[in-house]
């Protein structure tokens, strides 16, 4: 039985995938890395764009997603939360 990811874990996965690709990622690569359906990935990315954590650019006619400073901050805070909950065995 697999454990489902929470919303904050999915957001972390999306932002981490962008960050690991040097801060820019193509939608197709993000789709594979986030392990979501295309529709769900777009929902999350659009929410992150609205919240200022992700940007959308066009480079050489291709769409790419970029991570903002706010998105990088989220990753750092997520690590703190994860370490805290792990220290209590949660």
Per-residue model confidence as pLDDT tens digits over 20-29? 999 999 999 9
Q: Is residue 90 part of a domain?
A: no
* Band of residue 90 on the pLDDT scale cut at 50, 70, 90: confident
Tell me, yes or no, whether 22 lies in a domain: yes
Residue 2 included in any domain? no
What average pLDDT does this structure show over 7-14? Answer: 96
Residue 73 structural domain: 7-82
Q: Which are the contacts of 31, defined by CB distance < 8 A and separation ≥ 6?
A: 38, 41
Q: What is the pLDDT of residues 11-68, one digit of tens each?
A: 999 999 999 999 999 999 999 999 999 999 999 999 999 999 999 999 999 999 999 9
Whether residue 11 lies inside any domain: the answer is yes
Alpha helices in the chain (DSSP H): 7-20, 27-34, 38-50, 69-87
Instruction: Give the CA angle between residues 74, 78, 84 to the nearest 5°.
Output: 150
Looking at the structure of the chain, the number of domains it has is 1
């Amino acid at each position: 039985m697999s454990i489902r990811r929470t919303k904050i874990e999915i957001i972390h996965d999306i932002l981490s995938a962008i960050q690991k690709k040097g801060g820019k990622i193509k939608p197709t690569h993000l789709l594979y890395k986030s392990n979501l359906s295309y529709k769900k990935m777009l929902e999350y990315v659009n929410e992150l764009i609205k919240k200022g954590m992700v940007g959308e650019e066009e480079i050489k006619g291709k769409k790419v997603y970029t991570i903002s400073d706010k998105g990088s901050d989220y990753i750092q805070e997520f690590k703190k939360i994860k370490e805290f909950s792990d220290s209590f065995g949660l």
